[in-house]
Structure 1
Amino acid sequence: MKVHHLSSENSIIHKFVNQLRDSSVQTDAMRFRKNIYRIGEVLAYEISKNLSFKEVTLQTPLAPYNGQEIEDDVVICSILRAGLPLHEGLLSFFDDAENTFISAYRHHTGSENDFEIVVEYLASPSLEGKTVILADPMLATGQSLVAVKKALEKMGTPKQIHIAAVIGATEGINFINNHFSEDTHLWIAAVDEKLNEKGYIVPGLGDAGDLAYGSKLQH
C-alpha cells in the first residue's frame, strides 16, 4: 500500500486539522463538518493526480481547444455516518462520481474495550473496473475499512482503490496494509502515534461522528 501523508509537508491542510483537534473550536458542529469537507477537497485534488486522463477536444467561442479530462469511472464510498462531510468534500471535486454508502459500527461484545465491526447497510452501483475512493475520516484500528472491503467484494472488482482519511493511527495503517493490495493508495491528512485501550486515536480529536452530528445511544 502506498501511503501519502499530507501533513508531512507544509500546506493549508494543517490549519484544517488543527481546528478539528481544538476542543474550543469543536463546539461549533458546522465548523467541524466544514473543516472535514475542506480536507476532503484537498484529498480529492491530490488523488486526482494519480488517475488516468484522456484528451478531449472542446470548442471555445474563438477556436477549438485540446484539453484533458479524467478517464476513470470514480465511485466514492462513505462509511456512515462520520464519513458524510468527507464524502461531500470529495464529491465537490469529483462531481460526476457515482456514490456508495455503507454502515459499519463497533458492536461491543463484552467489556467496552472488546468489540466487533458490524456492517448492516449497503447501497452501491457496480464497482467492476471502477476507481473506488473509500472515505473514512478516522482510521483507528483499521477493522472498519477491512470489513467494508469484504462487504464490497460482491459489487465487483475495482480497477483501483484509494482510501481517504483525515486522521489515522500507525497501528491502524499497518493493519490495513496487510489486507489491501500493494497498489492501494492511502491519502491521509495526519498520522498519530497510537491507540488507547479503547481503540481510539491519541491525540486524535474524539468521536468524529458525534462532533459532526451529535451524540448517539450506544449499541
Structure 2
Amino acid sequence: MTKSVTVVDHPLVQHKLTLLRRKEASTSEFRTLLREIGLFLGYEALRDLPLGRIQIETPVCTMEAPVLAGKKLTFISVLRAGDGLLGPMLELVPSARVGQIGLARDEETLMPTKYFFKVPQDTASRVNVILDPMLATGHSAIRAVQEIKDAGAKDVRFVCLLAAPEGLKALTEAHPDVPIITAAIDEKLNEKAYIVPGLGDAGDRLFGTKGV
C-alpha cells in the first residue's frame, strides 16, 4: 500500500458496502447505499482543505470560528457510473463546479477513447476530484487523470468505491502524485476485467440496465 492510497475502513462504510455488493440489492437500494458511502469518501478526499477564521456571534458570545478558506473545488464524473458519486459530493459542497468526462473502450486497442470532456476553465486553481466507482484495470482512470492534467489541473484526486490491485498499481505508477480514496481493495480482476469479488457493473446497477 502506497501513501497515495487511502482505504476508508470505517465500520459503517464496510457495513454499507456489504449491503451494496449483494446481487439481490435493488436499484433503489444500490443508489441509496452508494450515496451514503459516497459521503464518507468525500469527507476523506477533502480532509486537507485549508481553513480560515471569521468572527461570528453565537447565542452566548462572540468567537473566532473556522471556515473553508475559499479553495475552489471541481467534482469530475467519469460517465456514466461516476454520476452515482457526484450527488453526495455536491451535498457536501453545493458550491463546487462540475466536470464530466466520457470514455469508451476501443474494441481494437481495448484502450479508452474520449467522446466527451467538459470541465471549468480554471482547473489550475482548483482541487479536482475525479469520481468513478470502479478502479479495475486502471486504463480509464489513467486517461481521465491525464485529460484533467492536460487541461491545466495541478491538484487532482481520485475517488472510487472499489479498487483492484491491478488498477491501483497501474494508476499509482502512471500518476504517483494523485491520491486515491476507496472503500475497499478487492482480490483481483477476472478474465473479463471485472473486479472480484466486486459488485458487477456499477453503471448497470445504478441505472437499472442489464448487467452481469
Question: Same fold judged by TM-score > 0.5?
Answer: yes
1:52 and 2:50 correspond: yes
Equivalences, count? 207
Q: Residue 166 of structure 2 aligns with which residue?
A: 171
How far residue 61 of structure 1 moved from its aligned partner, in angstroms, is 4.9
How far residue 153 of structure 1 moved from its aligned partner, in angstroms, is 2.9
3-state secondary structure, aligned to 2:34: helix
1:128 and 2:121 correspond: no
Using structure 2 for the length normalisation, give the TM-score.
0.90
* Aligned 8 A contact 1:76 1:97 in 2: yes
Q: Residue 206 of structure 2 aligns with which residue?
A: 212
Compare 169-178 and 38-47 and name the one that shifted more.
38-47
1:20-169 mapped onto 2 (5 Å cutoff): 20-25=20-25, 28-71=26-69, 72-109=71-108, 115-125=110-120, 126-158=122-154, 160-169=155-164
How far residue 102 of structure 1 moved from its aligned partner, in angstroms, is 1.0
* Aligned 8 A contact 1:103 1:119 in 2: yes
* Aligned 8 A contact 1:44 1:94 in 2: no
> Over residues 93-112 of structure 1, what are the superposed CA-to-partner deviations in whole Å (9 max), with x where a residue is unaligned?
12221111111122322xxx
Identity %: 28
How far residue 115 of structure 1 moved from its aligned partner, in angstroms, is 1.5
Q: 1:146 is aligned with what amino acid?
A: I
3-state secondary structure, aligned to 2:124: coil
How far residue 64 of structure 1 moved from its aligned partner, in angstroms, is 2.9
3-state secondary structure, aligned to 2:11: coil
3-state secondary structure, aligned to 2:38: helix
* Aligned 8 A contact 2:136 2:193 in 1: yes
How far residue 155 of structure 1 moved from its aligned partner, in angstroms, is 2.4
How far residue 90 of structure 1 moved from its aligned partner, in angstroms, is 1.3
CA distance in 1 between partners of 2:54 and 2:156 (Å)? 25
3-state secondary structure, aligned to 2:67: strand
Q: Residue 13 of structure 2 aligns with which residue?
A: 13
How far residue 40 of structure 1 moved from its aligned partner, in angstroms, is 1.0
